[in-house]
A = this chain, B = another copy of it.
């Protein structure tokens, strides 16, 4: 993404957060994380994030998706920790604040689904148990569980409460994906 693309994505995310009643500082607004997962297809597969805190004990974020935008399928694998323990993998609670998000996790495929894997990327989407989240609804994704999510036609804002986030260790089903935060 070039600088203009990133600015446009940040502005759109800031507008949605404001519509959700979520206040950001100027610095936060100017540094919203814009993730295109290296696919150069942000409007269809991408995510904007505001990370409030990411400590060695917990993490707190806002996730923002534009209309129909998809966060690609991935899981958070176990991580050996320096002190000898093993972190079983990031566990996360999604709390929907605005719009609608369709979350897909491992389990029985939901027969009639609202969301659809992005065209030409279908083979990298393998779990289809649908959970519909509207404002006030939430879902907790267990560690090391495949999941992907897609916003409804009005986009979506989700507050994420979770264990420590280590994005660089996430495992994506699509082998083209490299989860490196955009340098801008």
Contact = CB atoms under 8 A, between A and B. Distances in A.
Interface of A: 20-25, 28, 52-53, 55, 57-60, 85, 91, 93, 95, 97, 135-138, 140, 159, 161-163
B136 A24 contact: yes
Given A59-B58, A163-B57, A52 B93 contact: yes
Nearest to A161: B60
Contact of A53 (B23, B52, B93, B137): B93
A25 B137 contact: yes
A60 B161 CA distance: 6
Nearest to A19: B21
B24 A22 contact: no
A124 B25 CA distance: 34
A58 B135 contact: no
A38 to B, nearest CB: 28
A172 B136 CA distance: 32
B20 A161 contact: no
Of all A-B residue pairs in the complex, the 8 with the closest CB atoms, nearest first, are A21-B21, A60-B161, A23-B135, A23-B136, A58-B58, A53-B93, A57-B163, A25-B136
12 contacts: A22-B97, A23-B136, A52-B93, A52-B161, A53-B93, A53-B140, A55-B93, A55-B140, A58-B163, A60-B159, A60-B161, A159-B159
A166 to B, nearest CB: 13
A13 B172 CA distance: 41
